[in-house]
Chains A and B, each alone.
Chain A
Amino acid sequence: MAMRVTTQRRVFKGVGNGALVLMVLWTLIPFYWMIATSLKHDKEIYGYEATLIPERPTLANYATVFRETPYLLFLRNSMAIAVGSTILSMVIACLAAYAIARLNFPGRALLARGLVFTYLVPTSLLFIPMFAMMSMLRLTDSLHGLIIAYLGFDVPFCTWLLMGYFKSVPFDLEEAARVDGCNRVGALVRIVLPMSLPALVVVTFFSFTHAWNEFLYAHVFTSTTNARTVTTGLVNFMSQDVFFWGPLMASTVMSALPPVLMFLVFQRWVVKGLTLGGVKG
């Protein structure tokens, strides 16, 4: 019996490796194309002369980005907004997700679902009345205004994802803790959160990248360059008739790096498979 499983495991591992290679290629090739385009001259980008590997690679496009736009300012703004909205969303969402996952109170189901119903009006329409309201509240054209606007998207999203993870945490452990005298808040902070650490990292990442990459609200709600983000800065390169592909791709490559680097860093904190004894009883 054990033999079979080991062989199974080996087969699975082999297939897994193969699948992984395919997936990595599938993921990276378009990204490669982005990078390559950002390093090419116009001539190498268009037409049948389009090269697969830049023949005369150039950093001119990157220079253009920094020259034509205050990229560092955009970076700072994006970072501030993303970090701010992520922290806020995560705090609110953790509390709400725990309440839905573990606590019992009337109206729980309705309230929980109410959170998701907000997605039923798509952003591509919602932005119009949203902007009208933000204008009324004098929240436009500011970093904190955008942070608040993003909460509307991030809170339900993070809440529901976290709820799913919190539900996977075995109830027994919490029960054991509470028998030992821990209260709900303690259970949340000391049991559930640490056990969901991988989930917290992932959800934080999603929230961060949403704010980082969001375009429509950032574009519509901000006017002055001082409040512009990386994504809205990108549209500088999209003129009426022709896109400036080189600088556009250069800008995109640069804007994709911070989230990925952040994730790389946060990964170290994720402990895989916490060692716990099984509770039989």
Chain B
Amino acid sequence: MATTTTVSLPLPTSSRRGLRGGRILRGVSQDRILGYLFLFPALLVIVGLVAYPFASAIVMTFQAKTAGAPGRFIGLDNYRELFGSEQFLRAVINTVAYTGIGVGLKFVFGLSMALVLNQERFCNNLFRSILLIPWAIPTVMSALNWRWIFDDASGLINNVLVRLNLIDETISWLSDPHLAMLSVIIVVVWQGTPFFTMSFLAGLQAIPKELYEAAEIDGASMLQQFSYITLPRLQPIFITAVMLSAILTSAGIQFVLILTNGGPSDRTMIFPVLAYHLALGGAQRLGMGAAVSLVFFPLLVIFIVFLTRRMLREKGE
């Protein structure tokens, strides 16, 4: 069905008409220069700011190093010590589970809420702002607050459950080995869902309503509309959001550090916390701490390359 093309945005007019129509063909080499130019500031920031500390951190993994002193090169000894440690292997499993479940839940909740908030509704703006609140609170404070909520005696949950006579003994959310990881994940999800919600919502809002209306006239069901219109449009955003969230979640220490400090008995010990303990506690072995932090490095690189392959294909989208 041909419809007239009406673009409601002002287009640049004849001032540019002087340049010949052959622009598109020659655009490719223009692309190159422009591409580098546009990307340059971002790369400058990264190279200028982060490259040196990044390189230092990597070098540290091969050293026996304490603060304020040059490191002594010891090759792969740090890694050898790590792979022989049971605590480390525990941390591997924990980190994968923690990240996988955390990001998965955030994704599902985030997408559902984005779809819901995209509907017409009274006070939608208010709801959107409310759902944003967990993201607006510093992680440290959220963690402390939730620690309090989970507390045995004065905590909100136990308080309510006891008053409602639903339980006899208080639930030890943070000291029960079976509940500890769950409790930490609850907090991670509470804090991180707004990221997904808002990211997806922004994506949804950019999809013109006309597309849905046209599809509906053509007889598409809601599910079909979702699969053929919404999902493809959102796919790049899905990928970037999941990628960023996975990396940042797996590297976040605040929640575990404040809620359980890795316990009980290392049930919630994840990589970044182990690294923190090694680098700042006891002998303050920065080399070991760095080694732990970077163990996932190769895996994450593969993860990133694979996930973003589609998006970065040479021929554009």
List residues of chain A with CB under 8 Å of any chain B CB. 1-2, 4-5, 8-9, 12-13, 16-17, 19-20, 23-24, 26-31, 33-34, 37, 45-48, 50, 52, 91-93, 95-96, 98-106, 108-109, 111-126, 128-130, 132-133, 148-149, 151-152, 155-157, 159-161, 163-165, 167-169, 171, 173, 176-186, 190-191, 194-196, 198-199, 201-203, 205-206, 209, 212-215, 231, 234, 243, 245, 248-249, 252, 255-256, 259-260, 263-264, 267, 270, 272-280
Contact = CB atoms under 8 A, between A and B. Distances in A.
A245 B309 CA distance: 48
Interface stretch (B75-83, B86-94, B197-205, B260-268): B197-205
Contacts of B253: 122, 124
Given A114-B43, A124-B251, A5 B221 contact: yes
A102 B54 CA distance: 29
Nearest to B207: A273
Contact of A46 (B42, B154, B234, B308): B154
Size bin of chain B's contact surface? 35 or more
Given A96-B42, A121-B54, A243 B144 contact: yes
Contact of A252 (B2, B16, B145, B248): B145
Interface in B212-268: 214, 216, 219-222, 233-234, 236-237, 239-241, 243-244, 247-248, 251-254
B43 A111 contact: yes
A28 B137 CA distance: 12
B119 A161 contact: no
B18 to A, nearest CB: 8
B6 A93 contact: no
Given A148-B49, A183-B16, A168 B233 contact: yes
A19 B112 contact: yes
B179 interface: no
B225 to A, nearest CB: 9
Contacts of A213: 136-139
Contacts of A33: 145, 148-149, 156
A199 B203 contact: yes
B70 interface: no
16 contacts: A12-B222, A105-B32, A119-B247, A121-B54, A122-B253, A126-B50, A129-B60, A130-B53, A133-B53, A155-B42, A163-B236, A203-B202, A248-B144, A259-B132, A267-B129, A276-B8
A176 to B, nearest CB: 7
Given A8-B221, A124-B253, A92 B159 contact: no
B300 A120 contact: yes
Contacts of B140: 215, 231, 234
Nearest to A45: B154
A263 B53 CA distance: 34
Interface string B1-35: 11111111111101011010101100110111011
Interface in B269-313: 272, 275-276, 279, 286, 289-290, 293-294, 296-297, 300-301, 304-305, 308, 311-312
Contacts of B159: 50, 52
A176 B7 contact: yes
Nearest to A272: B205
A79 to B, nearest CB: 14
Which of A17, A130, A190 counts the most chain B CB atoms within 10 A? A130
Nearest to B305: A113
Contact of A176 (B5, B14, B198, B219): B5
By Cβ-Cβ distance, the 7 closest A-B pairs, closest first, are A122-B251, A105-B35, A99-B38, A129-B56, A96-B42, A129-B53, A181-B16
Given A122-B275, A178-B23, A276-B210, A98 B38 contact: yes
Contacts of B132: 205, 259-260, 263
B165 interface: no
Contact of B293 (A30, A112, A125, A231): A125
Contact of B127 (A2, A24, A93): A24
B233 to A, nearest CB: 5
B240 A164 contact: yes
B7 A155 contact: no
A74 to B, nearest CB: 12
A24 B130 contact: yes
B206 A106 contact: no
